[in-house]
Chain A
């Protein structure tokens, strides 16, 4: 019953976020600050993870395709499909749930504990709009980060394949171009946008409604990461079933 109440409260919160907007001049600077913090600040980890995941996918695919009848180009094909369909959007989103999600929960949670949110409310500011809306808008740029993750992941696969001796460069590139379906990119960006919304709002919910002191801020961050990951995984299944199933 508590879970149902929390889900209801989450959707009410989301509704409140879009009410009584903050003055555009102030909101613009908040959005730019959040883009810097949430997207630009995460590029390093996204690029790092994507490169090595791409490499690992290539190596594992190559090691499993040991029949001489299977062309080496399939390694490039499998890497492309795995990175575009799953690793870039979903794996990076789980990492972002940890990095960005815990930042969002702890920053909003600390504002709750130190009564800064009460101060906003007393002034007549819609604190949910002020705090959460810029994060949602900033996260609309998340698909751009994932596009880079796709590119870097495939590049990492090519590096591992070509320089590790698993797939010749030409074969790998041939595989990358094999049976390319543009809708897979669309599918990937659709789910990335949904995950972006989840990463912006679920941790905000846990930070905004937390109770207690500094210890509870830490607990709320952990809970937010767990729930954001759970929601991402469930939505990943639903979106895949709806769009590709």
Chain B
């Protein structure tokens, strides 16, 4: 479980996060949604410890991140997996080397044990024949799956994904969403996903927080989000004609 209390973050004069408090529960896919520039990425990177907040606390299963020593912070980070927006795979390494990298770095496993684990996680993300390929040689969807494989290879307790399906076709995006949800439930980990994709919200949003201009505007589930009367949320959710029709149907049904 991750608890966030009154989180503030600024860059120079720009006050990006303005007192965000929330809780992300274990075994659930928690979604952070909001328009571009609402502070989602800064929020996620603050959770990861890449940005130090000016104010507020981030608590991982009872441990306040910024109260830990740098060695303890690094140990905690080894329990985190992150899927970056652009995948952030190491260009100079093959798919197999990318996935093996965290194990190679932090475990004393034999080459054979590491290879078995790599084979297992690559199979888990439905990538079987890509071991020797370089990131530049595979598609965007495959790169995302490699990034997910790298994120889960160390059996993390926390999984973070920054817009995991941006730039993907709708079918691949749904596959990635479902994969993340399955992994979350299978390993009982705490997953936090940044997205502005409403399909993801509908498909896997077990808990959603909506950010607007650095504030937490709303939080609830994917069922509640279609019923809320919060204007900022409805403006965001029903920005497309399709969802406007869904909304209209819901109102008619309610009446």
Contact = CB atoms under 8 A, between A and B. Distances in A.
Contact of B82 (A114, A119, A125): A119
Contacts of A1: none
Nearest to A33: B92
B105 A122 contact: no
Interface of B is mostly: mixed
Given A23-B105, A26-B104, A118-B50, A123 B88 contact: no
B140 interface: no
B77 A119 contact: no
Given A26-B105, A122-B80, A122-B82, A114 B88 contact: yes
Contact of B50 (A110, A121, A126): A121
Given A23-B105, A26-B105, A122 B85 contact: no
Contacts of B86: 114-115
Interface residues of A, number: 16
A119 B45 CA distance: 11
B84 A118 contact: yes
Interface residues of B, number: 23
Interface in B72-122: 74-75, 77-78, 80, 82, 84-86, 88-91, 101-102, 104-106
Contacts of A126: 74
Interface string B40-67: 0000010010100000000000000000
A44 interface: no
Contacts of A114: 86, 88, 91
A124 interface: yes
A124 B78 CA distance: 6
Contacts of B105: 22-23, 26, 123, 125
Given A22-B105, A114-B88, A115-B88, A124 B82 contact: no
A149 B11 CA distance: 48
Contacts, number: 49
B145 to A, nearest CB: 16
A77 to B, nearest CB: 48
B50 A122 contact: yes
Interface string A94-131: 00000000000000001000111011011111100000
Given A123-B102, A123-B105, A116 B90 contact: yes
A173 B123 CA distance: 69
Contacts of A115: 84-86, 88
A116 B88 contact: yes
A21 to B, nearest CB: 12
Contact of B88 (A20, A22, A23, A118): A118
A20 B48 CA distance: 19
Interface in A24-56: 26
Contact of B78 (A110, A116, A119, A123): A123
Most chain A Cβ neighbours within 10 Å, of B45, B74, B101, B105:
B105
Interface in A109-166: 110, 114-116, 118-119, 121-126
Interface of A: 20, 22-23, 26, 110, 114-116, 118-119, 121-126
Given A115-B86, A118-B84, 19 more contacts: A20-B71, A22-B105, A23-B104, A110-B91, A114-B91, A115-B88, A116-B88, A116-B89, A116-B90, A118-B45, A119-B84, A119-B90, A122-B48, A122-B77, A122-B82, A123-B101, A123-B105, A123-B106, A124-B75
Pairs of residues from A and B, 5 with the lowest C-beta to C-beta distance, nearest first:
A124-B77, A115-B88, A124-B74, A119-B88, A124-B78
